[in-house]
Structure 1
Amino acid sequence: MVLSKPELRVGLLLAVAMFLSGVTAASTYPYSSVVAIEFLGMSGPLYSVVIAVSSIVGATLSGIFGYFSDRLRDRRLMALFSAFAGCVGYGMIYVFRNTTAFTVATCLITPAAMSLFSQNFAYARAYYQMSGSERADLAVSMLRSVFATAWIVVPPLAGYLAAVASPFDVYLMTAVAYVACGAVIVFMMRDRATAVRPPKASAQQAAEQRTAPIPVVFGLFGILLMTVAMRLVGTAMPLVIVAEMGGSVGDVGLYAGLAAACEVPFMILWAYLGLRIPRTIIIFANGLLLCLYLVVASGLTSVQALLWLQPLNGLAMAALLTTTISYTQDAIKGRVGLSSSLIDILGVAASLLGAVIFGVVSAIAQYRVAITISGAVAALGGLAVLLTEYGPALLRRPPDVPDPRHADER
């Protein structure tokens, strides 16, 4: 598969933009609660409300941005606006360093920056679809691996910066990353040949673009279930390590870093296997693999045994973090921007549902029970995706074909 020079140039710039997008998320995510509660004096319940409001506003804005990005002369304008919002919001927290600035920025400004991730992917898919849908899936998977790489590289750097200076300086790091990402987008927009304009749709196509077919909606429900499982694991596993395996906070960091490091090479592997294996099969198989990993992990008693199990975790998570993006982007025909916004919406819904499940389970059982439940939810989600592809065919009975040996009996 040979890429043209413009495709190589755009691919390189998109890789830089996705890495910077990963920097914006990976640098502040571990320190948000610390800054709000320990340094600004917010109460735990108030912080929870602020985060919940931020998630809901972010999901709403992501849907709005996705809707309009499919109608703009250049869909990168929405990604550029998201980068600007991120710079302003996180810059405000760094400069003012008070509860009011944190609340306003987190609830009203930084949610608009959430769309940078999905809109960059929307542009990448739309651009590479001009060269064939298979190449688009491969490009999306490769870019997701670049995003994941930032989660390996950035947290140690952000932790060092927070330790030697101040956690607020991490917000400056994030704001600068948004500025740099915006600069990359502007640089790409200078080349008019790389603009992807929405194609003119017929009346029938326009009707199809308004909604996703019922089977696809059921498939998206499966993606939601698997995302809930991943969010629930992200909440419960650190607590299992510390409270039930006798590990330390350092072990949590080692677990997270090793898991992310295992995901990147497998993302590249699944990107190429996706050229030969249907997406629904990949998602279903890795839903089962994630279930297997979580069921085994829930019965472990040592951190070392859990660390040895991370290649299996990385294999499954790599597919579910990449292939599900391509699946979601095809949800609404001809509306890659709006479909891509579903990535953010499903992520927010999964976080809220995962928090509810964790709250109920942790109140009545050990944290490792939540891990077991996550495995069941992941398998159920994979099955739902598989049934959207093959279920209708299985339900349709083939017409009766008369046996020619009995033709004379009629």
Structure 2
Amino acid sequence: MKIAVVGGGSTYTPELIDGFARLRDALPVAELVLIDPAAERLELIGALARRIFARQGHPGRITWTADLDAGLDGADAVLLQLRVGGQAARNQDETWPLECGCVGQETTGAGGLAKALRTVPVVLDIAERVRRRCPDAWIVDFTNPVGIVTRALLSHGHKAVGLCNVAIGFQRKFAKLLGVAPERVELEHIGLNHLTWERAVRVDGTDVLPTLLARHGDALADDVRMPRALLDHLGVVPSYYLRYYYQHDAVVKELRTKPSRAAEVAAIERQLLDLYADPHLAEKPELLSRRGGAYYSEAAVALTSSLLGGGTAGDVQIVNTLNHGTLPFLPDDAVIEVPAAVDSRGASPLPLRPLAPLFAGLVANVTAYEHLALEAALKGGRDRVFSALLAHPLIGQIDYADRLADELIAHNREHLTWA
């Protein structure tokens, strides 16, 4: 089995390598190829990846290349974890929207739209190369904004499933609070990528969410950085990203007083690269936990294994895939993030209880924005950018959308072929 990782030069790749090494019985990788144009970083991370495999006794072969086509040849699965423009572009996504009084964030709002516009054309080009070089391969997309990128892939007929680590992070946290093994915890996770709620937490089939909220509500509220009273009122656990919607103005005020997350990550990455250069290092360093993306490797291994036929019948995983009537108030071609049965044919969402209006309204609104964002990413044009911004619930005002459209284009001109 050959796995290709596009964006293999990411400082986060050792987390993925560690997961492949530890979970080799679930996903027996014979060859893992890291693909990235950043040759110097790729050399460091590739060498560390080999040491991690050797330390854990994994017999698989690790290679790396800057040649995308050569790396893709014969792959059974292709994992996408790229960042067009790097941390410098992310830093812009997180700063210029604040100057307009809007949240600056890399996956939602104006910053998220900027990232989508930079990313979608690049991902679609990679996917076309996958279609030519390894047509039977599954694409697992971890590249943000996952919902929009996955929708782009699926709308162009690619074999793709989107993946986020928010759900597995909650599963692990709930399991720890409850004192049970993570495998016993099943989530009723519903919504869109980075716009989700945990409506039920089942242990051996019994919903223990009310108990979790009663006994650990303060800890959960601290974790998602929202008031305990809100969680009690909603009766669910919202993802951290909901604070951008529920507390927009307070978050803007907070973000204006501290360095951007991109600046923090860039500093961590510099330290990580220094560590990776140590020829004696043969495991992921503790510092990597501050980089973000916890438990991504476990989720990626489980999903890839199921897609390649290595799972068990009825594997259920939380993924980004086509709606197909699961949420009846959304179009069939919307991409939602929900539990799905996954096998070699792809991901099929499980039937879900109706979504209450308090949540459904926001989901419908953001889905409409994502449709317009994809149109802007595929066809370009300031008018399409303006429409997407105007439709976004974090913006939604003419003056804001007008100014943000100009700022977005000015800061991303080098990545926009139509600008």
TM-score by length of 1: 0.25
Structure having the higher strand fraction is: 2
Which structure's CA Rg is the greater one? 1
TM-score by length of 2: 0.25
